[in-house]
Structure 1
Amino acid sequence: MTQRTWPPKSDTPHFTALPFTKKESHQQPKISARPTKNLTRTRFKDPAAETSSSSSSRTHVRNSLKQNQQQHCDYSSLPYELLSRIAASFTLPNLKAASLVCRAWRDALQPLREAILFLRWGKRFKHGRGGVKPNLNKALDSFLKGAARGSTLAMVDAGLLYWEMGKKEKGIALYRKAAELGDPAGQSNLGISYLHDHPPNYKEAVKWLYKASFAGYARAQYQLALCLHQGRGLDQNLQEAANWYQQAAEGGYVRAMYNTSLCYAYGEGLVKSHRLARKWMKRAADRGHSKAQFEYGLGLFSGGDMMKAVVYLELATRGGETAATHVKNVILQQLSTTSRDQAMDLADNWRALPSSR
C-alpha cells in the first residue's frame, strides 16, 4: 500500500499535594478520683494450653494460605480459548517461555509453536532466504497454515500477500481477524485498508488506527496523524496530529520524522523551532528520505557547508528529487576536482540508517 508524506505549504502537570498531617487531640483521658468497686479480675492462662491453641491457629492459617495459593496458581484451569487469544500474537521466544509455565499450557500452545515455524518458512519463500528460491505461492501456503493455527503474525503476512496479489477482500478478512485478536499490525493494516476503500470508510479507519496507535505501532501513529492533520474522518487537530507525528518519529518511522521537522519549521501543532526542525530533517535524511535529503542539503548550502551539501543533494538526486540536481551542479562548479571526487565517493559509500519506514 503506497503512503504519502505530508507536503509543506508551497511538563509537568499542575498538582496540589494533600496535607499529610492530621488533627490530633491533646486532651488527656479523665481519671476518676474514686476507685471502681467492681474491678475486673485478671485471668491467667495455662501456658501449655496457650501454646497448643497458638500452634493450631498457625497450622490453620498455613493450610488456608496453601489452599489459596494452589487455587490462584492453577494455570491449567485457564480456558484454552482465552489462552490462545492471549498468545495469538506471541513470537517464538514468548511462546517458549509461556510453554514452560505448566504442562497444560505447553500442550495448549503447541499449535501456535507450529504456526511460528510455518511463518518462518513463509518468510523464506517470500524473500528467498535460507537457501530457498522466492516462491509467493509457497509463501502464501505457509502463512495460511500458520494463520489456521491461530498466529496473528501469520494472518498479517498472508493478508499482505493477498493484498499485493490484488485479492484485497481476502487480505482485509485476515487483517480483521488479526485486529480483533489485538494484533497492532493487523489493526494498522485494517485501518489503512479502510482509507483505501472506494469510497473511504474514515470512521472504521480511525477506529482501528487509534487502537494500534495506543499500542505503540509507529505506522498507525503516522497514518492517524495524517488523518488528524488533513481532517479525514474527524475534525482537524494540528496539535494532536503533531503529537502523533512525533511519537511515530521517535518510534523510528522515517516519514514521521520528516513531517515532525515540518511541524517545527512552520509551527503547526508544535512550538516553532529551527533547531528541532533541522534535527528531525537530518534524522529523516540519514534514513533515506529523499525529500529530507534535498531540504537538508539546501540548509547546508545556505550555511556554507558545501561538501556535505553536495553529498545530501546527490543522494536526493539519486532518490528521484530532480530539483536537487540544479543546486548540486551549481555547488560542484565552486569545488575543486579533489573535493568533487571526495563528495561523490562519500555518496557512493553512503548507507541509510535503519528505520521502520
Structure 2
Amino acid sequence: MVLLRYGKRFKRRGGVRRNLDKALDSFLKGAVRGSTLAMVDAGLIYWERGLKEEAIALYQKAAVLGDPAGQCNLGISYLHAQPQNHKEAVKWLYQASIGGHVRAQYQLALCLHQGLGIHRNLHEAAKWYLKAAEGGYVRAMYNASLCYSSGVGLSQSRRHARKWMRRAADRGHSKAQFEHGLALFSEGEMMKAVVYLELATRSGETAATHVKNVILQQLSATARERALLLADNWRALPSSR
C-alpha cells in the first residue's frame, strides 16, 4: 500500500527527512482503508508518544482482523497498561503465538513462567521459549539455554544448553556472551573466551571484566592484541531480536 510505504519512509528517513507527524498521518489514512500493518505502525507512534489509549484502540482493530503483530502488541500493551490486564494479555499473546509471531511466543512464555494471567506452567513456558528461539528470537535462545541447563521444563541437556547459549551470544545477547565466555574459559579456549567476555564487558556485563582480565594475564602480548582485534571486528548474526 502506497500510504504505508510513505509512512515508513517518513518514520525511517528512507530518502526523506524523518517526520513522525507525516508518518502518523500516512499510517492513519492507511488504517482507515483497512491496512492492519498501518494500524500497528500508527499504534506504535501513539504508544511512543504516551497516547496509550489511542495505541491500544488501533492494536485492537488490527488484532481482531487477525494481524499477529497487532495481537502481540495488544497483549504487551495489556501487560503494561494501567490497570494491567494479564488475562487479556495472555489471550492475545496466545493468538499471535499460534500465528507464528516470535516476540509473542517469548512474551507468552514469560507469562507462563511467572504465572501472569494464567496458571504457572514451566513445561509450557519452555516449549514457547524453544519455539521462539527456533524462530530467531535472541532472548528466547538465552532462556531456552537456561531451561536445558537446569532441566526446568525441558529434559536436561548440556549439549543443547551450550548450543542455544552460543547462538544467543553470536547474536549479541550480553549475558549469553558472558556465559559462553565462561564456558570457553573452563574448556581452555582462552582466545575465544576473551573475545566473548570483551563483548559482554562492552555491553555492560561488569562481572565479565574480572574474568577477562584474569585470562589476559595468561596470554602473550600478541595473543591479547589478536583477541581484542577479533572483538573489535565482531558483528552480530541476524536475528528477530
TM-score under structure 1 length normalisation:
0.67
Query: Paired residue for 2:46?
Result: 162
* Deviation digits for residues 289-329 of structure 1 (CA, Å, limit 9, x no counterpart): 00100110010011110000000011111111111111111
Normalized per residue, which structure has more helix? Answer: 2
Percentage identity across aligned positions?
A: 77
Which of 170, 192, 195 is the matching residue for 1:286? 170
Distance between the aligned counterparts of 1:219 and 1:334, measured in 2? 41
The equivalent of 1:122 in structure 2 is 7
Q: CA RMSD in A?
A: 0.8
Q: Which residue of 2 aligns with 1:24?
A: none
CA distance in 2, matches of 1:189, 1:199: 16
User: Could you tell me which amino acid in structure 2 is paired with residue 274 of structure 1?
Assistant: R
Find the counterpart in structure 2 of residue 45 from structure 1.
none
CA drift of 1:132 comes to: 1.1
- The equivalent of 2:209 in structure 1 is 325
C-alpha separation in 2, matches of 1:341 and 1:139: 47
Amino acid at match of 1:125: F
CA distance in 1, matches of 2:215, 2:65: 55
Report the residue type matching 1:234 in the other structure: I
Report what 2:31 is aligned to. 147
The question of whether the paired residues in 1 share the 8 Å contact of 2:87 and 2:116 is answered with no
Separation in structure 1 between the aligned mates of residue 238 and residue 6 of structure 2, nearest angstrom: 24
* Dislocated runs of 4+, deviation >4 Å: none
Bigger relative contact order (CA 8 A; separation at least 6): 2
Rounded to whole Å, the distance in 1 between the matches of 2:214 and 2:83 is 46
The structure whose Rg is larger is 1
Unmatched runs of 5 consecutive residues or more in structure 1:
1-115
1:297 aligned residue: 181
Return the letter of the residue paired with 1:242: A
Q: CA deviation at 1:273?
A: 0.6
Counterpart CA distance in 2 for 1:342 and 1:143 is 49
AA at the equivalent of 1:122: G
Q: Could you state the TM-score of these two structures normalised by the residue count of structure 2? A: 0.98
CA drift at 1:265 = 0.4
1:307 aligns with 2:196: no
Counterpart of 1:245?
129
Deviation at 1:199, TM superposition (A): 3.0
Q: Distance in 2 between matches of 1:353 and 1:142?
A: 33
Shift of 1:198: 2.5
Mark the runs of 5 or more structure 2 residues left unpaired by the alignment. none
1:209 maps onto 2:93 in alignment: yes
